[in-house]
Every structure is written in structure tokens, then in C-alpha cells.
Amino acid sequence: MPRFSSISELEDYRRSILAKQDPKTKVIRLCDTGCRAKGSPRVADAVEACLNEHGLNGRVTIKRTGCQGFCQIGPVMVIEPDNILYQKIGPQDVPEIISETVLDGNVVDRLLYKDPETGTKILKEADIPFYGHQTKIVSKKTGRIDPADIEDYIAEGGYSALAKALGTMSPMEVIETVEASGLRGRGGGGFPTGKKWRSCRDAPGMVKYVIANGDEGDPGAFMDRSLMEGDPHSILEGMMIGAYAIGAREGFIYVRDEYHIAVKHLSLAIEQAESLGLLGKNILSTGFDFTVQINRGAGAFVCGESTALMNSLEGKVGEPRAKYVHTVESGLWDRPSALNNVETWANVPLIIERGAQWYQDLGTDRSKGTKIFSLVGKVRNTGLVEVPMGVPLRSIIFDIGGGIKKDRAFKAVQTGGPSGGCIPAHKLDVPVDYDNLKQLGAIMGSGGMIVMDERNCMVDTAKYFIHFLMYESCGKCVPCREGLKQMHEILTNICEGRGKKGDLDLLESLARFMVDASLCGLGGTAPNPVLSTIHYFRDEYRAHIVDKKCPAGVCRNLFEYVIAEDRCNGCTLCRLKCPEDAISGEKKKPHVIDAKKCVRCGICYNLCKQEAVVIR
């Protein structure tokens, strides 16, 4: 690969890459990051072996891409140029795909996605409702390009925004464009990005830094991981543009230690960009110098908070600093620092390339652009979802997510990670943006969405998140350290049947104190799961405290299983699977549960296809 000494050389190289591409060439795109748990590396190896066997190497291209989004049906394979999508691929399926589809142009019908509503097989990727209802902008290249090949990124327009910024825009013009776009931080706080950059540029000091937060500690969230694994150059390009705008010459990417593939792909992206002269000294002969290094986080959730992250980067204990000193003025090593989430950085090249007005046309009045969400839980279609700001929750959960598994009733969706809130069914038509979620008692967070159905206990849900936050609190300030312990103890008592009158008032007053007095955002938002569930599901709390009953059948001390005679067909499955021999009955006759032996493990409840096992 060449080393570019000018913007024109970069553009010439892009044209040469495109000129070599034949639109008729077969390309096999296979998710090789998110689908690894389902065996995608073995599938990729099988494809390469089969192509070699048929003498197709060089004539058919295989791209090991990042996450293609639809995790529920992985491993996912798309064959271009016809964009045929095959789902749940195994190594044993590869010979048939190569011989039938790649060589002969036939479709392997059994591997197509089947619409659960109509039962029809869907051939093309774009026709699947999960993809059809989305607006992929930031995540468009993730799942399309090979993240280990910089040429793929350049061919898709990569680094053209950097060339535009360095060649035709002043630093202030870049900041003004980002300000005009309305981009807000995608890491949770939603602070205006351009305003942050302007403050950092105006702060006194010759040495300044840009930092990408890729720590992503929220349970159930994997948006940032997907971007780092599947499109690392977009993050680098955004950071370079931001560094040019604020006057920084050095950048850091703080990556969660468990994200080994993300670290690998980011490291390779940095090496490739350096080899082409897109990182380092005098980039594209514009006089702009910039270097990036990767730092691996120590696995602390609190290091997602800006000042705790900077302490960790400095080699100190990852705990927050007082908020009256702004990081744009005194951040990393007490120097002005602009820290943004990796998704925020990935938005920047798009804004510079297409303009502020294009971005403003997406989203709502105060929340512009699109947002990537990880949709998980009791929803049929789990995966990564990108939609414009302002799309109703109902559209995300039912149109894209396909509704609730087993046609059960939707109960709540928890947004914003463990510090987020639980939103009930009667709020499903509220448009999703920063302000609306805040009014509902939730937060955008980094974009996690956990869907719950009628079998989820909201008291137990609040207890789970408070337990997580209690152990992830750094312990530096009393309101967070002691408040979370007390909250967890009260919630545990309620779930175990020891709840008492006044517990709800105590939880609410404790929550208000934590919001007002905690040092950082972790303590200030930690009460959200409790406050939102008390607000929307107060009757469920009262059932636990007053009636000593758990309506959802989750809190073991507060319910028992019984078998409804009119539903039981005597299949004996529950009796055979019961670990305590607590179920008796003859074949084809109603069975009975011995309450004294039953440990309420839930095996019979989950196994029964007739739903004859009920909660009392």
C-alpha cells in the first residue's frame, strides 16, 4: 500500500480501488464477530476451504465482517450482488451454498429467513422486517466491510471527511458544523458535542487531548463493541477530525478489557492508517499531526464516567473527581480534554461529509440523528437496531423486534443500562429521544434496551440493578456507597416477604438524597430503576409488602405453583423433570404438585406447553 503525501493521492487511491471492483463478482459477507459464539469462525473456514476446492479463490470474495445486527438468526451470511441472506448457517451448510448459490445461482430455500407472521420465506436482506424498519447510517458499514482491511473502508468513502476537513475547512468551521448538526453525546449524558469541542478549544493550554470511551459496561449492551469490532476506522476518522478542530495532537481509546476482538481490530486499524500516512506526522501534507493509542480498562463500570476514566488512563484508581472542574478545561493530566463515546465519534465523519442540514433533518427538534440500540430480553428479534431519534418504543419492540416471545404480554422495557428506568406498556407510543426518556424517569444511556414480559417481577428487577450498581460503586462518596447498600437491603426484604409499611416512602426519600448528593453520575442516576418501578408498578410493590405475594411468580417466598386440572393433559413431562419429585399423577390424567416438597425452581412452569402450571 502507498503512503499518501496529499489529499489528491488519497482520492486517486480510492478511485483505483473502485476501478478494480467488478459489480458482478460474488461476495460472501459473513458475520465473524457477534456470531462467534454460534460458530461463525468455523463457517468462515469451511467457506474458504470449499472455495479452494472448487478453484474459486480470487473469483469469489469472502468478507469476515462485523456484526450484521440480527443476532437472533446468526450466524448470518449475505451473498452479493443479489443480497441473498441465509440464516443460522453451520459448516455443514457451506458445500450446498457454494454449489447451489455461488456456482449455479440457485437458492437454498431451507436456509432463508421465514417471516413468523406470514410463514413466507424472504430472499433479500432488505426485505426482512428487522432490517426494513431501520435507518442504518452510523452502523451501515458494520456488517458490510472487512474491518481488518483499510481498503474496504476507503472504497466506502472512508477518510474523505477527514480530507474535506483538513483541505477545505478551518478548525472553527468544523466545530460550527458539528454544533449546527445538533449532535449530542451518545454515551448517555446527551451533552451537545459541538459545545464541548468549542469549550475545549477555547480552554487555555497548548496540549490538549481527544478520548474515545469504549468501556461500555451496561449489562445487555453491545453497540460500542460492534462499532469497534466492525468499523474501527470510522472511530479513528471521527477522532482525527475532532482533534483537528480543538487543536489536539494526541488521542486515546479506552476499551473495555473483555473486548479482545475490538482491541485487535482497533490496533490493526491504527497500524494501517499509520502505514498510509493517515496517522502520524504531517497528515496528507496539511501540517496536522495526530497519534492514537489504546488503553484497556480494568473492568470497572464506574470507569464509564468521564473523570473516573481519565483517572484510570493516568494509572490511578478509577474513581470520579469533583464535577466543579470541567474536563474540557482540566481533564487528562489536568489538560483540556474532549471525551466522547465511540458512537459519537463515528457520527462525526458523516456530518462533515454530508453537512449539518442533512443531519438536522434526522430525528426530533432536540435530539438529532439516529441512535443504535441493543435490543435484548423477552423480544423475538434480538440484535442491534439503528433508528432515527423520535421513533416510538412500540416500533422498535414490535415492528423491528417482532413483539414478545411466546405471544406473552409486554410489561416493561428498561432503557439506559443499570442506571436507567423501566418504562411500562401504556408509554409505548412515546417517541424515543433524550428529553422524553428523561421525563419518563429513564435515560438514553449508551442505548441498551431490555424487554420484559408478564413473567418479570419489577421489584426483583429493581433489586437486580441495584445489586449490580452496589458492587460497581467506587465507594468514594457516602450517598452512593451507603445508599445503594440500604436500597438493596430494603428491596431484598421486600422480595423475601419481610417488607413492611413505610418501605416505599423510605426508598423514595433515599433515592432523592442520592440524586442530590452523590459525587458523580453513577450515584445520581442509580435510583432510576427503583423510582421508575415504584412510580409505574406501585401495586406490584404493595402486593409484595401487604399481601406477601409476587404476582409474577419470581420471588420464591411469595408464591406457589399449582397445576390447573382443566389444562393438564397428563403428559408427565413435569413429573419426569422435577428435581425434587414433588409432582405426582398418572399418564393422561391431571397431575398434582406437593407444595411441601416444591422448591419453586420453575422447571415445570417453563416446560409445560399447555401452561397448566400456574402461580398462586
Residue 183 contacts residue 194 (beta carbons within 8 Å)? yes
- Residue 303 confidence (pLDDT): 87
Q: Is the pLDDT of residue 219 over 90?
A: no
For 41, the 3-state DSSP assignment is helix
d(CA 523, CA 472): 11
Q: Is the pLDDT of residue 300 over 90?
A: no
φ/ψ of 209, rounded to 5, equals -130, 150
Question: C-alpha cell of 54?
Answer: 472448487
Amino acid at site 221: A
Mean pLDDT across 420-430: 95
The residue ranges of every structural domain in the chain are 24-80+84-123, 150-360, 370-453, 458-547, 560-615
User: How crowded is residue 597: how many other Cβ atoms within 10 Å of its Cβ?
Assistant: 12
Mean pLDDT across 388-394: 96
| CATH architecture of residue range(s) 150-360 | 3-Layer(aba) Sandwich (3.40)
Question: C-alpha cell of 62?
Answer: 469472502
- Residue 218 confidence (pLDDT): 81
Which residues does 132 contact at the CB level (< 8 Å), separation at least 6? 126
Q: Does CATH place domain 458-547 in 3.40.50.620? A: no
Mean pLDDT across 161-178: 98
Answer yes or no: same fold for 370-453 and 560-615.
Answer: no
- Residue 293 confidence (pLDDT): 96
φ/ψ of 578, rounded to 5, equals -65, 120
Mean pLDDT across 297-308: 85
Mean pLDDT across 108-134: 93
Question: C-alpha cell of 164?
Answer: 474535506
Which residues does 2 contact at the CB level (< 8 Å), separation at least 6? 9, 13, 276
Integer CA distances (angstroms), 409 to 334, 382, 406, in order: 52, 17, 9
CATH number for 24-80+84-123 (one of 3.40.250.10, 2.60.120.10, 3.40.30.10, 3.90.1150.10): it is 3.40.30.10
d(CA 313, CA 334): 12
Mean pLDDT across 394-415: 95
Fold of the 370-453 domain: Ubiquitin-like (UB roll) (3.10.20)
Amino acid at site 564: A
- Residue 298 confidence (pLDDT): 75
User: How crowded is residue 481: how many other Cβ atoms within 10 Å of its Cβ?
Assistant: 16
For 199, the 3-state DSSP assignment is helix
Closest CA to 591 of 572, 616, 577: 572
- Residue 128 confidence (pLDDT): 95
- Residue 185 confidence (pLDDT): 92
Residue 39 contacts residue 59 (beta carbons within 8 Å)? no
d(CA 280, CA 290): 5
d(CA 601, CA 614): 13
The residue ranking higher by pLDDT, 616 or 151, is 151
The DSSP secondary-structure symbol of 409 reads P
Model's pTM, two decimal places? 0.93
| Angle, alpha carbons 267-196-255 (nearest 5°) | 25
Residue 270 contacts residue 280 (beta carbons within 8 Å)? no
- Residue 279 confidence (pLDDT): 97
Report CA 279 to chain centroid distance, whole Å. Answer: 28
Question: C-alpha cell of 196?
Answer: 464541548
Residue 374 contacts residue 223 (beta carbons within 8 Å)? yes
d(CA 363, CA 388): 5
Write out pLDDT tens, residues 198-213. 999 999 999 999 999 9
Question: C-alpha cell of 113?
Answer: 429467513
Amino acid at site 519: L
Partners of 337 in the beta sheet?
Answer: 209
Question: C-alpha dihedral over 44, 46, 47, 51, to 10 degrees?
Answer: 140
Q: What is the residue whose three cell numbers read 467506587?
A: 474
Write out pLDDT tens, residues 328-345. 999 999 999 999 999 999
Write out pLDDT tens, residues 556-597. 999 999 999 999 999 999 999 999 999 999 999 999 999 999
- Residue 522 confidence (pLDDT): 85
d(CA 612, CA 130): 33
Write out pLDDT tens, residues 247-294. 999 999 999 888 999 999 999 999 999 999 999 999 999 999 999 999
Q: Is the pLDDT of residue 324 over 90?
A: no
Closest CA to 443 of 525, 347, 531: 525
**Position 305 confidence tier, pLDDT thresholds 50, 70, 90:** confident
Residue 195 contacts residue 175 (beta carbons within 8 Å)? no
For 250, the 3-state DSSP assignment is strand
Residue 377 contacts residue 404 (beta carbons within 8 Å)? no
Write out pLDDT tens, residues 584-595. 999 999 999 999
What totals of helices (H) and strands (E) does the chain contain, helices first? 24, 20
- Which spans in 63-134 are helix H? 94-96, 129-132
Q: Is the pLDDT of residue 323 over 80?
A: no
| CATH architecture of residue range(s) 560-615 | 2-Layer Sandwich (3.30)
d(CA 606, CA 455): 11
**Position 484 confidence tier, pLDDT thresholds 50, 70, 90:** very high
Closest CA to 496 of 441, 453, 539, 554: 554
The full DSSP string for 135-174 is --STTSSTTTS-TT-HHHHHHTTTTHHHHHHHHH--HHHH
**Position 321 confidence tier, pLDDT thresholds 50, 70, 90:** confident
Q: Is the pLDDT of residue 1 over 90?
A: no
